Amino acid sequence: MEEFIELKKDETEVNLMPPLTWAYIGDCVYELYIRTKLINETYMKPHALHIESIKYVKASAQSEILKRIYNDLTEEEKDIVRRGRNAENHHLPKNCNVQEYMYATAFEALIGYLYLTKQNKRLQEILNKVSVIVD
C-alpha cells in the first residue's frame, strides 16, 4: 500500500497526535484487513461480505480481540492502548456498552499507531493473531 499512500509523519509527530487520530486511521486499516481477508478466503456476494465483516469490526468484537491479545503486547503497546482507552470521546455508542466502545477505540488506536509509525512487521504479527481469533 505504501506505493500509493505516502505517510509523511515521523514517529515524533505521530506520538504527538491525539489517540483518537490513531483510532481514526486504525479503524480504516483494520476494516480493510478484514474485508481483504474475506475477499481472499470466501466467494460471497457484496451484501454477504458486508454482513460478515460487521461481525469482526463492530465494537464488541474489537473489544474482545484486545482482551485476548493484551498479554502479548509490549509495554509501549499497552501504553498506546491505555491512551486510546482513556481518550475523551463524546460519541455515544448505539450497539454496545461504553466499556466495549472504549476498548474498541483502544484496539483501533493500537492498529493506527503501528500503521502510522510504519511498524509493519509488528502490525502484521498482531493482525495474524486477530486472524486466528476471527476464524
Active site residues: 27
**Residue at 22: amino acid letter:** W
3 phi and psi, to 5 degrees? -65, -35
Q: How far is CA 9 from the centre of its chain?
A: 19
Q: Are 20 and 26 in contact (CB under 8 A)?
A: no
Q: Which residue has the cell 469490526?
A: 57
Of the candidates 112, 106, 40, 32, which has an alpha carbon nearest to the alpha carbon of residue 67? 106
Residue 98 exposure: Cα atoms within 13 Å on the Cβ side? 7
